[in-house]
Amino acid sequence: MNVASPSQEMHDAGGSLPAFVERARDDAQCRAALARIGYSNVKAAYAEQLRADADADTFRGLERENLSPPMDLVRDWLKTERKRGFANVRWTFLGTMLVTIVTGLAFAAAYSLLG
């Protein structure tokens, strides 16, 4: 028996995985489903559900996929996606600004040499 990988008998005897493994797998499935739906659609559904029922424990936007993630998981996913989106935009903005400054300096240098 290899210590790094459990034997097949361990999986057959219990039949189910430990609760924390099940929870992690469910969270990963929910995050993948949220990513498939997209940030704007999830945000709209989340806001609508909060307006309808502020005390809801589960997100109903994934019912068609037989998933019911906790509202906390969806809120955290939305925050993470928003930060990721801002990080992408920030680097694009900084790169564009740098190119604009360098181009302006090059134009000013060429103008002073020729003019």
* pLDDT for the residue numbered 40: 93
In-domain check, residue 6: no
Q: Please tell me the total count of domains within the chain.
A: 1
* pLDDT for the residue numbered 64: 87
Domain span at residue 48?
16-114
In-domain check, residue 8: no
In-domain check, residue 1: no
* pLDDT for the residue numbered 33: 93
**Separation between Cα atoms, residue 67 and residue 76, nearest integer Å:** 17
pLDDT in tens, the chain (115 residues): 445 545 454 455 556 889 899 999 999 999 999 999 999 999 999 999 999 988 889 899 888 888 889 999 999 999 999 999 888 899 899 999 999 999 999 999 999 999 7
* pLDDT for the residue numbered 15: 62
* pLDDT for the residue numbered 6: 54
In-domain check, residue 104: yes
Q: Buried (b) or exposed (e) across 13-23, using 16+ Cβ within 10 A?
A: eeeeeeeeeee
In-domain check, residue 32: yes
* pLDDT for the residue numbered 9: 47
In-domain check, residue 77: yes
In-domain check, residue 10: no
* pLDDT for the residue numbered 43: 94
In-domain check, residue 7: no
